């Protein structure tokens, strides 16, 4: 069954008069008769019994009519779903983001956005930076929140914020009381880092290369909370964004026990050039995002501007 056959055939089947159907469809009567003839030749059967000026559905015609009505209903439903999805006031935003943004940035953005757009829902995916970029590139997600900026071609980018980076050390570390530190000062120590493919690992590798440092990686993790915990336990040092784990302070002693648990590492701001993490929203530059996703992206850009975000 071809979609172009549906409307005129359903109208003809319900009116059972070629003239009346042609008038409703704004077609010439001979044109409608030829369309019916072509359809019947394609199917190899007649769909109507001719009785003077009237035509009446026969057994073959009733089968075709029932399927045509069902198909038309499905297409109408699909059209409505597409319209809802593309509407800025409705639909679903498919959003991928780094694990570390699940504790504060994404909840803050989504929460503030939903206060003015409660009918828009979200489908969330978390993973490393490479996964976020791939999700956006192949259409699995409409938008991504990621750091650093992906180097993949065809990805749009808008910076949202820039986070300062800090050296994370155990509470009893020799540098724990410092106000600033350079990576070169811990060149001989064990490092706790993210796995390869994660945005923070790429940033740390680039900072170490700029400092002419080859870090000795003792442990790798897939989230920043684990990195912080391993550092607090005295298993090495690491590089963490200040904003993800709270304000940095040399007085913030993570080895202190809180209900029997380690509270977190001491964070010392890095003095190295470029010791920041750029966070932004990404989308496919090759396709047009649904209306709901465009609305959320515009909101995120406005949120960044109100915070004095980055270009």
Q: What is the mean pLDDT of residues 4-13?
A: 84
Q: How far apart are the C-alpha atoms of 281 and 300, rounded to whole Å?
A: 8
The mean pLDDT value for 213-233 works out to 94
Reply yes or no on whether the pLDDT at 247 is more than 60.
Answer: no
For residue range 156-193, list pLDDT tens digits in order: 999 999 999 999 999 999 999 999 999 999 999 999 99
Residue 3's pLDDT band (cuts 50, 70, 90)? low
- 262 pLDDT higher than 60: no
Across 213-240, average pLDDT? 95
Taking all residues of the chain, what is their mean pLDDT, rounded to a whole number? 87
Average pLDDT over residues 286-304: 91
Greater pLDDT, 288 or 295 = 295
- What is the torsion angle, in degrees rounded to the nearest 10, for the CA atoms of residue 223, residue 226, residue 231 and residue 235? -110
Residue 236 sits at φ, ψ, to 5 deg, of 155, -175
The arithmetic mean of pLDDT across residues 6-21, rounded, is 89
At 236-245, the pLDDT tens digits run: 999 999 876 5
**102-139 pLDDT per residue, tens:** 989 999 999 999 998 888 999 999 999 999 999 999 89
- Termini Cα distance of the chain: 52
Mean pLDDT of 26-42: 91
pLDDT mean over 137-158: 92
Amino acid 279: pLDDT: 95
57-61: average pLDDT: 93
CA angle 218–219–222, rounded 5-degree value: 155
pLDDT at 163: 93
Q: Would you say residue 252 has pLDDT above 90?
A: no
The pLDDT of residue 257: 45
Between the alpha carbon of residue 26 and those of residues 20, 22, 192, the distances in Å are 10, 6, 74
144, two tokens: 């991504």
Mean pLDDT for the stretch of residues 224-242: 95
CA distances from 72 to 7, 10, 54, 231 (A): 8, 9, 25, 62
How far apart CA 97 and CA 102 sit, in angstroms, is 8
Q: What is the pTM of this model?
A: 0.66
DSSP E strands: which ranges in 116-228?
Answer: 121-126, 143-146, 155-169, 190-194, 216-221
């Amino acid at each position: 069954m071809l979609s172009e056959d549906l409307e005129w055939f359903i109208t003809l089947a319900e009116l059972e008069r070629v003239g009346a159907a042609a008038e409703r469809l704004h077609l010439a009567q001979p044109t409608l008769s030829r369309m019916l003839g072509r359809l019947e030749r394609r199917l190899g059967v007649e769909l109507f019994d001719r009785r003077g000026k009237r035509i009446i559905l026969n057994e073959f015609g009733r089968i075709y009519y029932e399927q045509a009505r069902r198909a038309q209903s499905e297409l109408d439903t699909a059209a409505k779903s597409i319209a809802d999805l593309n509407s800025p006031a409705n639909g679903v935003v498919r959003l991928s983001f780094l694990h570390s943004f699940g504790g504060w940035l994404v909840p803050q953005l989504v929460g503030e956005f939903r206060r003015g757009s409660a009918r828009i829902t979200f489908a969330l995916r978390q993973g490393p930076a490479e996964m976020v970029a791939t999700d956006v590139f192949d259409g699995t997600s409409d938008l991504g929140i990621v750091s650093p900026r992906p180097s993949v071609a065809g990805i749009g980018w808008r910076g949202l914020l820039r986070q300062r980076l800090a050296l994370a050390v155990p509470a009893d570390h020799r540098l724990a009381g410092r106000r600033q530190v350079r990576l070169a000062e811990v060149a001989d120590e064990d490092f706790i880092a993210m796995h390869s493919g994660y945005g923070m690992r790429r940033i740390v590798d680039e900072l170490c290369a700029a400092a002419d440092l080859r870090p000795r990686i003792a442990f790798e993790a897939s989230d920043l909370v684990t990195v912080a915990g391993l550092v607090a336990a005295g298993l090495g040092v690491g590089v963490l964004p200040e904003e993800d784990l709270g304000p940095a302070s040399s007085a913030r002693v993570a080895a202190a026990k809180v209900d029997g648990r380690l509270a977190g590492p001491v964070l010392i701001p890095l003095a190295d050039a470029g010791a920041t993490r750029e966070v932004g929203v990404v989308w496919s530059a090759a396709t047009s995002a649904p209306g709901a996703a465009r609305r959320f992206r515009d909101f995120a850009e406005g949120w960044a501007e109100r915070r004095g975000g980055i270009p």
